[in-house]
Amino acid sequence: MEKPAGTATVNATDALMRVEDLVMHFPITQGILVQRQVGAIKAVDGVSLSVKRGQTLGLVGESGSGKSTIGRCIVRLYKPTSGHIYLDNDDLAVAQGTQLREVRRRVQMIFQDPYASLNPRFTVGGLIAEPMQIHKTGSKAEIRERVEQLLDRVGMNRRFIDRYPHEFSGGQRQRLAIARAIAIEPEFIIADEPVSALDVSIRAQILNLMQRLQDQMGLTYLFVSHDLSVVRHVAPRIAVMYLGKIMEVSDRDEIYSNPLHPYSSALLSAVPIANPRVEKQRKRIILKGDLPSPIHIPPGCRFHTRCPIAQDICRQVEPPLEDKTGSNHLAACHFSDRVGSLTKAGSVQGLGTL
């Protein structure tokens, strides 16, 4: 039987993490005494993804496209409406009790804002020790020794162990958040815009640290960002998300040189190129309007209200996410063969909403 649109299992071989047809709808209710559901915010609307062990998958898309909600479902801050989230063979979407505790050890999350994500009342030592105390990984002395090793590992001085997070800069705080995330030796880390709140000058340091830890510990990352220029540095494979669904998934070089979805093409056209001569000749794709509301998702292809090459069929039939090249380059577009011409000809001038 044919799978419904958007449910193709992406690159499932050797996957440590496999998300299959994930749905997260937040109900909208009305009523004073009796609450009645009158609609839903369709934040994630049938997403399938997979990440190979030891690799990084970049997840990009405009703000509000549902990226963080996927991350929050994976770490089970949210219980998904439906779908599967396999870590090896365990389905995190339905895990509970002991299995859920075990999942929480194996999967950790790093957040965008290290100011908000670290409890200001804890010392550095307390913050990094907490996950180890929760998971009872050793005696008090062993945990303190381990905290010191973790501070070394993330490039922070051991002397900082009794200080408080407010005494540190954004970059240093993100290092502390990373130390906390790796304290119980997880396998999978969701990094949700981990450098977006940091000064450009220190972004590379944090990205390098994440890369080094990946090499040393064999970590697998889902790297979430609205910024393609960041994702291109860290992720050999990239998924592009729009309004709750994946529009395109491909290896990095392939998606940069040959995008097969107009939305990816628009995002890419907004990324500056260092060479001023090439930059001057480049055409930019303008996207009409804002991201539609996830309460009222456009029928057919959900991108049709902003797509520069939309046709009648796009308003009626949802395109499936399918391999367009035979080399694991997936796109959800009826006219992916026309996308290449978008940046070569036509009017193109800047994309505002990223």
Applying CB under 6 A, the residues found at the interface with ligand ADP are 26, 41, 43, 61, 63-69, 294
Residue with smallest beta-carbon separation from Mg ion: 68
Total site size for ligand SF4, rule CB under 6 A: 13
- Near ligand SF4 in 214-273, by CB under 6 A: 261-262
Pairing of strands 245-251, 36-52: unpaired
| Pick 73 or 307: Cβ nearer ligand SF4 | 307
Nearer to ligand SF4, 126 or 298 (CB): 298
- Which span (2-10, 223-231, 283-291, 300-308) binds ligand SF4, by CB under 6 A? 300-308
- 314 touching ligand SF4, by CB under 6 A: yes
Q: Using the minimum distance from each CB to ligand ADP, give the nearer residue, 193 or 318.
A: 193
Which partner from the list Mg ion, ligand SF4, ligand ADP, none does 69 bind, CB cut-off 5 to 8 Å by kind? Answer: ligand ADP
Q: What would the 3-class secondary structure string for the chain be?
A: CCCCCCCCCCCCCCEEEEEEEEEEEEEEEECCCCCEEEEEEEEEEEEEEEEECCCEEEEECCCCCCHHHHHHHHCCCCCCCEEEEEECCEECCCCCHHHHHHHHHHEEEECCCHHHHCCCCCCHHHHHHHHHHHCCCCCHHHHHHHHHHHHHHCCCCHHHHHCCHHHCCHHHHHHHHHHHHHCCCCCEEEEECCCCCCCHHHHHHHHHHHHHHHHHHCCEEEEEECCHHHHHHHCCEEEEEECCEEEEEEEHHHHHHCCCCHHHHHHHHCCCCCCHHHHHHCCCCCCCCCCCCCCCCCCCCCCCCCCCCCCHHHHHCCCCCEECCCCCCEECCCCHHHHHHCCCCCCCCCCCCC
- Rounded to a whole number of angstroms, the minimum distance from the CB of residue 317 to ligand SF4 is 8
Distance of closest approach, residue 115 Cβ to ligand ADP, in angstroms: 18
Residue 192 CB, nearest approach to Mg ion (Å): 6
- Check residue 46 for interaction with ligand SF4 (CB under 6 A): no
325-354 residues near ligand SF4, rule: CB under 6 A: 333-335
Do 198 and 170 meet the contact criterion of CB atoms below 8 Å apart?
yes
Cβ proximity to Mg ion: between 68 and 220 the closer is 68
According to the binding rule CB under 6 A, does residue 115 interact with ligand SF4?
Answer: no
CB of residue 296 vs ligand ADP: minimum separation in angstroms?
A: 12
Q: Shortest gap between Cβ of 162 and ligand ADP (angstroms)?
A: 35
Would you count residue 183 as binding ligand SF4 (CB under 6 A)?
Answer: no
- Choices 98-106, 161-169, 184-192, 308-316 (CB under 6 A): range interacting with ligand SF4: 308-316
Position 319 contacts ligand SF4 (CB under 6 A)? yes
Residues in contact with ligand SF4 by CB under 6 A are 261-262, 301, 303-304, 307, 309-310, 314, 319, 333-335
